[in-house]
Structure 1
């Protein structure tokens, strides 16, 4: 598999785990799309990563960020501020990584 796709897959797995664990029913569309993205990455596992493949993945990723709600507004809430910051830091890094990797 393309090294870039290996890294992206790991990032999407982190997001999926956290959304499944801490998300609500309003996050179902994003959870479903994350599973679709992971399946897509697995399908191109042995194939060539073309510009078309990257564009398809970029569109799928961008659909996680609708104007309202979605991954851009998802955060983990716990009452303890320090714990909340600790839980959200990896999620913020993962979101930044996937966005920058696919959109720059």
Structure 2
């Protein structure tokens, strides 16, 4: 198996933490690719007929456990979720859109 280097690795901001983000990425529309194999109950169709990850009534991804905010299909998550790395440029851009100028940062635990 050939593993290619992550082209975004150098641009990841290590100060960005999912625990201080309110899971902004879990509110985005996730279009499924042909190679994605998610459970049928998590598949929805958007207004254009594209297969997407289903969302709950609250607008959150239906694969997110509401008690832990963790992904219930993490090992089999869609391609787009795998490419959406914590602290990547895409992540930081969405956080900026969501929070504006006040993006939360991690608070050290004493």
**Fold shared per TM-score above 0.5:** no
**Greater helix percent: which structure?**
1
Q: How does the TM-score come out when normalised to structure 1?
A: 0.31
Q: How does the TM-score come out when normalised to structure 2?
A: 0.30
**Greater strand percent: which structure?**
2
